[in-house]
Structure 1
Amino acid sequence: MKTRKSYSKEFKLDAVSLVTEQNYKITEAARSLGISANMLGRWLKEQESEGAHAFRGNGKLTPEQEEIRQLRAENKRLKMEKEILKKATVFFAKETK
């Protein structure tokens, strides 16, 4: 069974710059680096779409994804607080009768 090889962010950026800045063809750059042309093509697309946030690595979120995660956590907390207040209202309403 083959193990999957991982490449550093710097390697990916250098590989992409060969094509974008030094005008290599994708196949030439991939061959000289010992990677597949398809992989280099994916890296180029990711660099174009993500820009500075490309090649984040595992578990590293974009600022938008991090904000969504925080907002979901806050939403969950606020819903729990609302439920606690509802239960407290019912409890104290029974106590006053």
Structure 2
Amino acid sequence: MGNKYTKRYTDEFKRDAIALVDSSGRTVTAVARELGISSESLRGWYREAKADRGEGAPGEVSSAKREELKRLRRENREQQQKIEILKKTTAFFVKDNDR
């Protein structure tokens, strides 16, 4: 989420910064310095853009796959919670039936 000091940049700004790195032939650090942003932020955006284009390092996950993984983990967590509730409910009724 970030704290109150974290700057938020628009997707358009990020795309333009990445394009500037690609087209200028300059380093990420030099472009970041020129734009007045953190070189680590720009490096992360650049790495993510390369992964989305299929040019990333082996093992890097594209944004779409990352979002799908996030969704699946959330669904898995919800299913586990439902299973726990059903177990407790079943135990309650079995105990109640034994009387």
Consecutive unaligned residues in structure 1, runs of 5 or more: 54-60
Identity %: 26
Q: How many residues are paired up?
A: 84
Instruction: Work out which of the residue numbers 57, 70, 73 in structure 1 matches 2:75.
Output: 70
Instruction: Work out which of the residue numbers 8, 11, 17 in structure 2 matches 1:9.
Output: 11
User: Residues 23 and 52 of structure 1: is their aligned pair in 2 closer, same or farther, counting only changes over 3 Å?
Assistant: farther
User: Residues 37 and 83 of structure 1: is their aligned pair in 2 closer, same or farther, counting only changes over 3 Å?
Assistant: closer
With structure 1 as the length reference, what TM-score do the two structures score? 0.65
CA RMSD of aligned residues (A): 2.4
Partner of 2:62: 51
User: Residues 79 and 4 of structure 1: is their aligned pair in 2 closer, same or farther, counting only changes over 3 Å?
Assistant: closer
With structure 2 as the length reference, what TM-score do the two structures score? 0.64
Partner of 2:55: none
Q: Which deviates further from its counterpart, 83-92 or 11-20?
A: 11-20
1:88 maps to 2:89:
no
The structure number with the bigger radius of gyration is 1
Higher relative contact order (CA 8 A, sep 6+): 1
